[in-house]
Chains A and B, each alone.
Chain A
Amino acid sequence: MAASAAVRSSMGLTLRLSRVIPVCSTCPLYRLNICGNSAASLQRRGSFDSIRTINRHLQTSIGLYQIEEGSSNAEDPDDYVVNIVYIDRSGQRIPVKAKVGDNVLYLAHKHGIDLEGACEASLACSTCQVYVSDAHFDKLPEPVEREDDMLDMAPMLQENSRLGCQIILTPELDGMELTLPKVTRNFYVDGHVPKPH
């Protein structure tokens, strides 16, 4: 149920962002008749004759779906909203209203937070390392072995470190705070251990 709602809202987002006329026949939501988008109902009713009609309906639904900064989407039920906070490298708190299913790395990019993802979420680097608030750390599923392997190479690894590209938001993560590691300004402490490469 939550999954289909998540897909529904992400489809809405895709439509908003791409502004295209959706081809509904291949979409599982359409087939199961649970798609709320008016373009779909138009296609089902066979009113597909006029592209202009579709566009007009899309425009309307886009208007309906319009998200203002910081306000919740009128169409999405509150269960699917997950509020989290990013704390960036300068210590600034950035609250973000996100949704179930959002990926922490791409969500950060969407909100202009400078969380790097060098390998593009393929578990081949550690640049998206974040520190997870203690209250939520245990609510995350166990990391797969490859994530642990990558974390082992991360500078300034902590007990509550995770890779942002592997965190998918669920309702119980509401209130989670993700801190970006501060760039340490001191590279020459005594006893500096050469890092592997």
Chain B
Amino acid sequence: MTGHKLMFKGLKLWSSGRATWINRVHEGVIVRGSGKAFFASCNPKICVVGSGPAGFYTAQHLIKARQDAEVDIYERLPVPFGLVRFGVAPDHPEVKNVINTFTQTAKQSRCSFYGNVNVGKDVSIEELQQAYHAVVLSYGAEGNRTMGVPGEQLAGVYSAQNFVGWYNGLPSCQELNPDLSCETAVILGQGNVALDIARILLSPVDILKKTDITQPTLEALERSQIRNVLIIGRRGPLQIACTIKELREMVNLPDTRPEMVAADFNGVAEALKDVPRPRKRLTELMLKTALDTPGEKEQERRNKASRSWGFRFFRSPVEVLGDPDSMRVVGIRLAVNRLEGEGEGARAVLTGEVEDVKCGLVISSIGYKSVPIDPSVPFDSRKAIVPNNMGRVQHVSGLYCSGWLKTGPTGVIATTMNNSFDTARSLVEDIDSGTLDVSISKPGSQSISALLEKRGVKPVSFSDWEKIDNAEMKKGEASGKPREKLLSVEEMLRVVQT
């Protein structure tokens, strides 16, 4: 009897040993005759948090640079692509072509997409670090800078981020329901996001009808009474943050006329001599629009226009004025500034004067802001970025960051692309040099999927996203739009389950 047991035990040990050996061969460990193990490096398993341009460009570069790398992209929403889907204006569809590049990456065999997974809540960074050789944080900037003035909480005051999220179908912004029944809207900030919002508020609805702007937005815009949009900046024309493409679109916007304050441009033309080309061309277009007497045709067009827009310079918000009964915004108090210094580094200094502007809608477009995801990740709250050196998170090995989380929330697709490639390069360097140890095999998505299942989280795969994609495109066909976006996570998950 005892003999039997012993035999069984022996058998079990032998068979489990063999299984272990087979497993280890799969993982790249070759056991030589003498029993000494020779460790080949394992397939590096890398996790990317965030599926916007930063996440995808980082994944793309990693997969290309190392033929053995496996990259898993995690995304909080069921749908990928981040700001390309939720930030780029609906009337800029060509900018969204980059989705084709990202789709190619997602469909590579060594890349997997896990949507509907909230990193920080459904799974922690620490758990990801245990499962993967490296974790890249690319979750962008979902917060916004606040004006920090009284009245900011009044009805009718919105952050640009929420406003853009609303018209672009971001599920968390669908309850915004902005009241567009006033005549004047004021936008604080003069970057491209501010101009996008001005353009969406003033574009003829017939043009917007053919884009992927959401249906509720179209209905609101059709009822809109907004006839005048002021785009306000603290400093002067030479410090404006927008770029020429967006300015040109405002200048050429049908049924609108520009209204600027000529005095704001004193001294600007003279200062253009030594200015770099992009700033020069932009300022020249502004000067032309603000100061030149228009030709006959253009003058006629302006006379017939039913809507107007304009920049106002040297103004900072100090208070949002509200109606005490309705608690709605009725105006904004602006401090008048003067400039100290020149060029990009010029500073706005208060003069003591103030000015009140009557308006019914205030949108603050003064910058996005990243938020910390997990207490285990260092975060610089002053700069609102994850402190890093060329994408390597300071003091935490195996943790990297790319995109706006790395450098702050400015930059176009090309900037983010470079930024992400740079982080990927650092990561690959670390694998090649041994700084990042890939000799121990890691379970990767296997263990994370098990964790998520235990927690009742159902990840959405890339082919699940394609179901949502097809459903949206089909829905859009009926109204001549490229797609009709699904506006809630529930709707998206319902489509996935069919």
A150 within 8 A of B: yes
How far apart are the CA atoms of A153 and B417 in the complex, in Å? 13
Interface of A is mostly: loop
A124 and B242 in contact (CB under 8 A), knowing A118-B414, A187-B407?
no
Which A residues are in CB contact (< 8 Å) with B419? 187
Asked whether B421 lies within 8 Å of A127 as measured between CB atoms, the reply is no
Asked whether A125 lies within 8 Å of B98 as measured between CB atoms, the reply is yes
B341 within 8 A of A: no
Asked whether A195 lies within 8 Å of B412 as measured between CB atoms, the reply is yes
A124 and B95 in contact (CB under 8 A), knowing A153-B278, A196-B412, A197-B411?
yes
Asked whether B98 lies within 8 Å of A196 as measured between CB atoms, the reply is no
Which A residues are in CB contact (< 8 Å) with B278? 152-153, 157
Chain A 110-126 interface residues, beta-carbon cutoff 8 Å to B: 114, 116-120, 122-126
Asked whether A149 lies within 8 Å of B245 as measured between CB atoms, the reply is yes
A183 and B422 in contact (CB under 8 A), knowing A191-B345, A194-B410?
yes
Interface residue from A116, A124, A150, A154 paired with B101 (Cβ < 8 Å): A116
A196 and B241 in contact (CB under 8 A), knowing A124-B97, A153-B278?
yes
A155 and B248 in contact (CB under 8 A), knowing A122-B97, A183-B421, A194-B241?
no
Count of CB-CB pairs between chains A and B under 8 Å = 100
B43 within 8 A of A: no
Which B residues are in CB contact (< 8 Å) with A194? 241, 408, 410
In the complex, how many residues of chain B place their beta carbon closer than 8 angstroms to a beta carbon of chain A? 40
Asked whether B422 lies within 8 Å of A196 as measured between CB atoms, the reply is no
B92 within 8 A of A: yes
CB distance from B385 to the nearest CB of A (A): 10
Produce 1/0 per residue, B406-427, CB < 8 A to A. Answer: 1111111111011101100100
Which A residues are in CB contact (< 8 Å) with B126? none
Interface residue from A114, A123, A153 paired with B414 (Cβ < 8 Å): A153
Produce 1/0 per residue, A62-80, CB < 8 A to B. Answer: 0000000000000000000
A17 within 8 A of B: no
A184 within 8 A of B: yes
How far apart are the CA atoms of A117 and B281 in the complex, in Å? 24
How far apart are the CA atoms of A150 and B243 in the complex, in Å? 9
Asked whether B95 lies within 8 Å of A155 as measured between CB atoms, the reply is no
How far apart are the CA atoms of A196 and B414 in the complex, in Å? 12
A: interface residue count bin: 20 to 34
Chain A 175-189 interface residues, beta-carbon cutoff 8 Å to B: 183-185, 187
Asked whether A153 lies within 8 Å of B412 as measured between CB atoms, the reply is yes
Which A residues are in CB contact (< 8 Å) with B406? 187
A152 and B97 in contact (CB under 8 A), knowing A196-B241, A197-B191, A197-B410?
no
Asked whether A127 lies within 8 Å of B413 as measured between CB atoms, the reply is yes
CB distance from B243 to the nearest CB of A (A): 5
Q: In this complex, what residue of A is CB-closest to B88? A: A124
Q: In this complex, what residue of B is CB-closest to A116? A: B417
How far apart are the CA atoms of A117 and B101 in the complex, in Å? 9
B192 within 8 A of A: yes
Asked whether B417 lies within 8 Å of A118 as measured between CB atoms, the reply is yes
A23 within 8 A of B: no
Interface residue from B244, B345, B390 paired with A152 (Cβ < 8 Å): B244
Which A residues are in CB contact (< 8 Å) with B411? 155, 195, 197
How far apart are the CA atoms of A116 and B419 in the complex, in Å? 14
A149 and B417 in contact (CB under 8 A), knowing A118-B97, A122-B97, A197-B412?
no
> B: which residues have CB within 8 A of A?
64, 92, 94-95, 97-98, 100-101, 191-193, 241-245, 248, 277-278, 281-282, 344-345, 390, 406-415, 417-419, 421-422, 425
By Cβ-Cβ distance, the 10 closest A-B pairs, closest first, are A152-B278, A124-B94, A122-B94, A118-B98, A120-B97, A149-B245, A194-B410, A126-B414, A127-B414, A124-B95
> A: which residues have CB within 8 A of B?
114, 116-120, 122-127, 129, 146, 148-150, 152-155, 157, 183-185, 187, 191, 193-197
